[in-house]
Structure 1
Amino acid sequence: MYIGQITDTANATPLPESLAGVEAAIKRINAEGGINGRVITLITCDDKADANEAAKCARQAVRENVSATIGNNSNFGEAILSVLERGGVASIGQLPITQQDFASPVAFPLQAGSAGMIAGAAKLLASQGATAIALAAVDSPAGALNEQFANAGLAATSAKVLGLTLVPIEAPDYASYAATVARGSDGILIGMNSDQAGRFVQSLKQAGASQRIALTVGAVPPSMVIRLGAASQGLLVTSPFRPIEAGGASNAQYLADMKAYAPRAKKNVFSQGGWVAVETFVRVMKARKITDFSPANVLDVMGSLEDFDAGDMIPPLTTNTTLPAPYNRLFVNKVMFARIQNGQLALIDEEWHGGLIQ
């Protein structure tokens, strides 16, 4: 059985750990005898941060007759999914970045992506008492959408978005931007990558800001928490998966697989995403006792799930439902709430908080 994985190693912020998570899970599954007696052969392809190369990778996957692509990590979901649609090949657990990742009939994202995490972060701030929330994001098309997502997360609350401050990626100093979001707000939502988010938090703290601050889990890896030191205390965090620090059976297996098969790779939300994509596929195929791994059959099986238990890293998965556009494939519209306490990420509660994007 062949499985495809399309990744990006040429991006400004490459995430090779996504592939590492996929590889670690597959190696353990094969060591245990494969899926219903069939071992997995992984075919990887680098899209080289280019839409045309991404489409070529997808065409290769179709040509090689892969059962599915699993854990794709690319900025060019539209290019990939349009090819996979024509070939009738499922994309399971891809990192959802583009609109097509939530709309394609062959897409099975296992998380709410940045849209859901930003919406969740706004909802988390409101749950902690914030009523006037200011947003800061990278000055980019994706960053400009943060206000839309935050408003979606606040729809059922009395909290409001004060405004969105877009910060140029090349800005040498964040002090003026930090002052803008601090003015008149009692909650601040930062939608940036870890380096920028860390600098922004430091600028806020240096200016004496005391507001609640929320970020997505990818923005506060352990290395960033260490660098921030005391400034990280109390930061609110949304996670699309059960955080590694929160334990659980799936995280225990994930950590064991990473230690055994990818010991040098980072253990973070991106390697979690690759790992859980494989784990979900394997659990589904074993539960249904599948022996026909043709792309068409895998696509049918993946689209027939109802409250399927894929482990405790993600909530139960239902795919046999019709969701409204433009998020037709938003099967996991939930995140977990956490905060940084004494240098560690700790769950606020054990709930999956949903209803984020409508």
Structure 2
Amino acid sequence: MTGFEARQARRTPHAQGVTKSITKGLARATTLAACASLVVGCGVIPGTTVGSGDGSVTVMTWAPQDTAATNKPGMPAMAQAYARWINANGGINGRELKILTCNDRNNTVSAAKCARRAAKENVVAVVGSYSQHGRSFLAPLESAGIPYIGGYGVTADEFASSLSYPVNGGQASLMAGLGEQLAQDCGPVALIRPDSIAGDQLPLLLNSGLEAKGHGKASDQLAAEDATEYSSHARQALQRAGTNPAKEGCVVPALGDRTFTFMDSFRRDRDDYPAVRTGTVLGSVDQTVIDATGGRSGPYEGSFVTGWYPVETDKRWDKMKNVIREYAFEDNRIDPADPGVQTTWIAYTVLKAAIEKIGDGDVTSVAIRHALDNGLEVDTGGLTPKLRWRFEDLIAAANFPRLINPEVTFQVVRKGQLVAARRGFVNVEKTLVDAT
């Protein structure tokens, strides 16, 4: 008998780790479970989803792949590598971890389909995922009672749903932090951002950070998210940022994967504006991008970068890197410098802590939410501050009521390497509150 089979044989048929609110529904849940094995369409009580019934725990990770805009294939790949590592070492409390993946395709229809599939497959959580379409996927998850743990944080919706458990401050904290970082060193600032719902938040947040440190507002330029070239945008941004010869201006491309394309245009015209630097956020640039664009002789040299986590060379990432090396089987989709991959690793750290907290009780979506809502503190090994989702842990930003981690890191590109510009984390809670 395997460890998983032995664990399953010892488990009782009753949910032991869930809240009192579903105790009276256990008989009904048992009846429905039996019905589901006989009749198609019996369904599952919202919020009581379990694994596959064989002692395993089933979760889902989704992200856009093979699209004309932002792609994050490393996130589902990281989830699969994490599961291989966990299962090779006995599972979580003896339970096998099973991963389902889904392609969000950067559109509302596919995002909603992924969420409905999660409900249909009875996953207990969606973990470490990326989507720009929070309104499309959160409604199906909420109907099924499925928690959303460690989303990338690209939309405000992830910081509003009571079933969302963010591990970072999302794009909001990055842009607010970048504003604070640029305010002290930059003259005029020009922002180039997507013409999208997610992009509409960026000027407000960047300006809040700039103004918090006594700087004026940035100019705001809209660009198509899937554009193939940005020559006119680059020239306009350089002109706006280069208006003060006495102090270096800064251009801020916040275009996700398309930042690389923008910088190709930016590089061609930059010689006419030598007193202009760039500032951006992780997700728009990482070490791989810096290397691919020329390293210390490329356009990112001297750039200011704001991130959620320590730089990729920090020893606190060694455990994740070891897992990638040993269990990803040379999967080139997984880049340890990608903040999406890093977010997935941290999100699964949270899931593991929640399942361990449940102990021998049944692992259901309600049990996981109960553990997270009732004071579970998750230590991520210093990659973030300790995470906890009690009411008193939420910051007072009206537009981001579920945000618990308003801390960012300031980084800079020196000699072609992304390094820490300041030790430790920088708390941008006040800037976020003022912005809303």
Give the TM-score taking structure 1 as reference length: 0.90
The answer to whether the Cα contact below 8 Å between 1:21 and 1:273 also exists between their aligned partners in 2 is: no
Tell me the matched-pair count: 355
What whole-Å deviation, never above 9, does each CA across 1:302-351 have from its counterpart, x for those lacking one?
Answer: 22336532222222112102544320111221211111111111112222
More moved, 258-267 vs 273-282: 258-267
What whole-Å deviation, never above 9, does each CA across 1:209-252 have from its counterpart, x for those lacking one?
Answer: 3244311122222333121442322111111122212232xx11
Q: How does 1:226-237 map to 2 (within 5 A)?
A: 226=291, 227-229=293-295, 230=297, 231-237=299-305
> Could you say what secondary structure the match of 1:351 adopts?
coil
Q: Could you say if the C-alpha distance between residues 312 and 80 of structure 1 is closer, same or farther in structure 2, counting changes exceeding 3 Å?
A: same
More moved, 114-123 vs 54-63: 54-63
- CA shift, 1:145, in A, is 2.7
- CA shift, 1:201, in A, is 4.6
The answer to whether the Cα contact below 8 Å between 2:208 and 2:432 also exists between their aligned partners in 1 is: yes
- CA distance, structure 2, for counterparts of residue 104 and residue 312 of structure 1: 26
Residue of structure 2 equivalent to 1:61: 118
- CA distance, structure 1, for counterparts of residue 276 and residue 351 of structure 2: 42
> Could you say what secondary structure the match of 1:245 adopts?
coil
Q: How does 1:344-355 map to 2 (within 5 A)?
A: 344-354=417-427, 355=429
Give the TM-score taking structure 2 as reference length: 0.75
> Could you say what secondary structure the match of 2:212 adopts?
coil
Q: How does 1:105-144 map to 2 (within 5 A)?
A: 105-126=162-183, 128-130=184-186, 132-144=188-200
The one of 325, 331, 336 aligned to 2:404: 331
- CA distance, structure 1, for counterparts of residue 269 and residue 185 of structure 2: 19
Q: Does 1:78 align with 2:135?
A: yes
The answer to whether the Cα contact below 8 Å between 2:155 and 2:171 also exists between their aligned partners in 1 is: no
- CA distance, structure 2, for counterparts of residue 152 and residue 162 of structure 1: 10
> Could you say what secondary structure the match of 2:198 adopts?
helix
Residue of structure 2 equivalent to 1:152: 208
More moved, 307-316 vs 163-172: 163-172
- CA distance, structure 1, for counterparts of residue 119 and residue 388 of structure 2: 26
Q: How does 1:1-358 map to 2 (within 5 A)?
A: 1-12=57-68, 13-126=70-183, 128-130=184-186, 132-168=188-224, 169-173=227-231, 174-184=234-244, 186-188=248-250, 189-193=252-256, 194-199=259-264, 201-203=266-268, 205-226=270-291, 227-229=293-295, 230=297, 231-248=299-316, 251-262=317-328, 263=330, 264-267=332-335, 268-286=338-356, 289=359, 291-305=361-375, 308-321=378-391, 322-324=394-396, 325-354=398-427, 355=429, 356-358=431-433
Q: Could you say if the C-alpha distance between residues 218 and 38 of structure 1 is closer, same or farther in structure 2, counting changes exceeding 3 Å?
A: same
The answer to whether the Cα contact below 8 Å between 2:413 and 2:419 also exists between their aligned partners in 1 is: yes
Q: State the structure with bigger RCO (CA 8 A, min sep 6), 1 or 2.
A: 1
Q: Could you say if the C-alpha distance between residues 172 and 338 of structure 1 is closer, same or farther in structure 2, counting changes exceeding 3 Å?
A: closer
The answer to whether the Cα contact below 8 Å between 1:137 and 1:190 also exists between their aligned partners in 2 is: yes
- CA distance, structure 1, for counterparts of residue 63 and residue 300 of structure 2: 31
- CA shift, 1:19, in A, is 0.8
- CA distance, structure 1, for counterparts of residue 351 and residue 404 of structure 2: 15
Aligned partner letter, 1:254:
M
Q: Could you say if the C-alpha distance between residues 301 and 278 of structure 1 is closer, same or farther in structure 2, counting changes exceeding 3 Å?
A: same
Q: Could you say if the C-alpha distance between residues 336 and 204 of structure 1 is closer, same or farther in structure 2, counting changes exceeding 3 Å?
A: farther
- CA shift, 1:113, in A, is 1.9
More moved, 81-90 vs 143-152: 143-152
Unaligned 5+ runs, structure 1:
none
- CA shift, 1:121, in A, is 0.9
Q: Could you say if the C-alpha distance between residues 295 and 149 of structure 1 is closer, same or farther in structure 2, counting changes exceeding 3 Å?
A: same
- CA shift, 1:148, in A, is 0.2
Unaligned 5+ runs, structure 2:
1-56
The answer to whether the Cα contact below 8 Å between 2:166 and 2:403 also exists between their aligned partners in 1 is: yes
More moved, 76-85 vs 281-290: 281-290
Identity, % of aligned positions: 24
- CA distance, structure 2, for counterparts of residue 273 and residue 245 of structure 1: 16
